[in-house]
Structure 1
Amino acid sequence: RSQLCTVAPLPQRTFWYHLRKHLPVYVWPILAGGVIYIDWNHTREWKANGRFSVLDEQLLGKMGTFTVGYWLRKTFWEKKHYWTASVAVYWFGTCWDRAGMAKASMMKGHSRMYANRLAAIPKGADPWKY
């Protein structure tokens, strides 16, 4: 082999290089585990002392009887702007999709990237079949 074709060797990878590359693999799980343990320990201590968390108050709180009328009022009537917005977003999405399809159909056969292939297609033939 010629000396001109040889590739220069990679710089020597030192201890600090490997430490920088591999340390996050071990550090991030340890930090995440520490945060989870601290949270679990505080929750355990709070429950032992009779203190309730926000989630416990929501889960153990008193709730009345469920009725369909209440659900309909809360879901549809009090949040009617959400439903009208979803209709508007659907209409905008269908218009956007139709415009994209129209643009794609106008671009049919006008690509410069494959000009040599398009030149090989016979006149009057559908370019999508090639």
Structure 2
Amino acid sequence: MDGRPRARFQGAVVPDEDPFGADTAAGAAENAALFAYERTFGIRQVDACTWAHPGVGLEYVDNGGYAGVLDGARSAVTATGRAGVFGYLDGPVTFEDNSPLVAESHGYAGRPREGFTSLLDAPVGDGPAGARP
């Protein structure tokens, strides 16, 4: 508007944390362009399918995390989440569990590394509370 650059999206949904394959020159250039766009306009990136590992700001699940079925698991919105993108939520987020015969939700919850901002917290198995999905 008025000749000022503006974003036309609220977020970018990509297949994983390296959507274009940084191991090629073309992929690295595409990633750089996407990441610059996200930074410039404050656009969040949603990785549709990834796992808990340092590349996404989390510890591996064998360091106090969880990997497996999440059917019926409850997570709580953090203060940061409530103050931002999840401000409309007023209680816990429960993962879908429509049938006890089918595993509908699967995921990874890892302990955050320094600099990681969690929007949801969930206790995992017998491990410590605070691992993040």
TM over 0.5: no
Larger CA Rg, structure 1 vs 2: 1
Of Structure 1 and Structure 2, the greater helix share is in 1
TM-score, scaled to structure 1: 0.25
TM-score, scaled to structure 2: 0.25
Q: State the structure with bigger RCO (CA 8 A, min sep 6), 1 or 2.
A: 2
Of Structure 1 and Structure 2, the greater strand share is in 2
